[in-house]
Amino acid sequence: MDESSLPQSRQGKVGCDSSSLLSEDQFQCSICLDVFTDPVSTPCGHNFCKTCLTQHWNNTQHCHCPLCKEEFTKRPELKINTTLREVADHFKKKSVPDKPEVLCDVCTGQKLKAFKSCLNCGATFCKTHLELHTVGKLRNHKLIDPVENVEDYICQKHERPLELFCRDDQTCVCQFCTETDHKNHNTVPIEEESGQIRTQLGETQADVQRMIQDRLKKINEIKHSVELRKRNTEKEITDSVEVFTALIRSIERSQAELLEVMEEKQKAAETQAEDLIKELEQEITELKRRDTELEQLSQTEDHLHLLQTYPSLCSPLHTKNWTDISIDPHLSVETVRSALSELKKSLDEELTERLRKNELKKIQQCAVDVALNPDTAHPDLILSADGKQVTCGDTRQNLPDNPERFNQCTCVLGKEGFSSGRFYFEVQVSGKTDWDLGVARESINRKGQITLTPQNGFWTVWLRNENEYEALAGPSVPLPLKEKPQKVGVFLDYEEGLVSFYDVEARSHIYSFTGQSFTEKLYPYFGPFPNCGGKNSAPLVILPVCKTK
């Protein structure tokens, strides 16, 4: 079917340019932030320039997607996506605006495409009409690439080509101008000035392009942050639903237990009432029998029988005093109060436990790779080759006393400092009787005796004498821990001014320094303490963090 035979609305759809529905960021490599060149796809479905992705993998230890960070056990074989390359190339061409076509001023009838413009003649010529400029006097005319408005390239006052640039007046001039209005001015050929401007233009353009790339990168960062935020929110929703579901189950369980107790108490009250009624009925039967006997005796005419029988009928019956005996019509308030108290205690414990587990789980996602800095270690300290363990030896090593090194207190800092964001690391402290852990400011005093307080640039907790835990907040805060931590987690939120410590195995919070103001780099701080004749010889060990999902 011919397109012209289609209805007008359908012709519009068929003839629609698909590129008008597309935007540059749909064909943009997230590494170079430019339109794809030889695009390839990763197994996770993301696209990159082949060269960009290859260089990225060559510069990293692990083979993963630069966008979503999915790791690949084996480096994928990259094949160019020919369809995506064709669309990207088409988009590149579409994104470059076409230059307007300049036509010959001399042609009559159908004008031919211009080949050159002459500044002396003030006209534009096609190849055929330009032949006159190859012979005679016209050979010396100034020719340039064809332009629409030739008069813009000619001095309006002298009708001569604008061949010079006046730097004093920042304007283009002809040769005659330099002999009149611009005499004694600093003039140079326009080609020379253009060359300098072109250099400046290149630098300006490079700055602009750099700014564009920075902003495109920031857009990608924001998009990535939003995507992460979305995934984190979904995870938070799942965790919250799980917590509330568990709490609802606890409430339902407590409700069922309370109803069972209330029903049991009701049954007990009914059983008691039945027993009392049965006893009362028995006494009523006895009393009625006595009443009948008394009535019969009162009617007798036998005086002797009356006198002999009356004493036995007047003796008291073995009956109960029912005055203070009753059944309470109300359920004891204490029953409900006790049930609610137990429920509240149970919910508090369960909620606290779940929140602690979730809190540490989130914090562990901020784990960083921490290694010890040997240049800061006290000479008594022995560091492992991988920088992950430290213990205090018996013999002082002969080490240079550089400005970074602690010379009196047996401690050491981590290699990398942090001046923004969040970071977390875990340390094994099992088998030790004394230790210090935390973070320290870069400018701390490292010579002589040191007092561990925030005022002096230290945010730490310590163990002394096997079971005395304290947060060194200046003054110190005793920490009555139920269990002895074997692994301690240290968390820093720089912007929040927060340093927290956790018992990793118990998944419980130990202590937090809050409301702090950090203005310089903070470094992980480790103090293994002297080995005390072998009692405290176990090392402090920096552990890899297991990020639970």
Report pLDDT for 13.
37
Give me the DSSP letters along 397-408: ------TTS-SS
Q: Using alpha carbons only, how large is the chain's radius of gyration in Å?
A: 47
pLDDT of res. 355: 64
Q: Which residue in the block uniquely carries the two structure tokens 């309006």?
A: 156
pLDDT at 3: 39
Q: How many helices (H) and strands (E) does the chain have?
A: 6, 21
Q: At a CB cut-off of 8 Å and minimum separation 6, what does 521 contact? A: 417, 418, 419, 441, 442
Cα–Cα distance for residue pair 406/404, rounded to 1 Å? 7
First CA to last CA distance, the chain: 59
Question: Residue 19: its pLDDT value, please?
Answer: 42
The pLDDT of residue 251: 86
Say whether 220 sits in a helix, a strand or coil. helix
Q: How many CB atoms lie within 10 A of CB 506?
A: 17
pLDDT score for 18: 42
Q: What pLDDT, in 10s, does the model give residues 165-206?
A: 999 999 999 988 999 889 999 999 988 998 888 888 888 888
Q: What is the pTM of this model?
A: 0.49
Determine the pLDDT at residue 171: 93
Cis amide bond preceding 475, omega within 30 = yes
Distance CA 91, CA 224 (A): 25
Instruction: Please identify every stretch of the chain with a pLDDT value under 50, giving residue numbers as ranges.
Output: 1-20
Q: With left for phi above 0 and alpha for psi between -120 and 50, is residue 465 left, alpha or beta? A: left
CA distance 241 to 243: 5
Question: 3-state class of 326 per DSSP?
Answer: coil
In three-state secondary structure terms, 207 is: helix
Supply the pLDDT for residue 409: 92
pLDDT in tens, 384-428: 999 999 999 888 898 998 999 999 999 999 999 999 999 999 999
How far is 106 from 126, CA to CA, in rounded Å?
8
C-alpha 20/C-alpha 41 separation (Å) is 24
Which 3 state secondary structure label does DSSP give 515? coil
**CB of 472 closer than 8 Å to CB of 491:** no
Q: Please report, as a single letter, which amino acid is at residue 486.
A: Q
Note the pLDDT of residue 99. 66
Residues paired with 103 in a beta bridge: 113
Nearest to 383 by CA among 413, 424, 404, 403: 413
449 burial level (CB within 10 Å; 0-12, 13-18, 19+): exposed
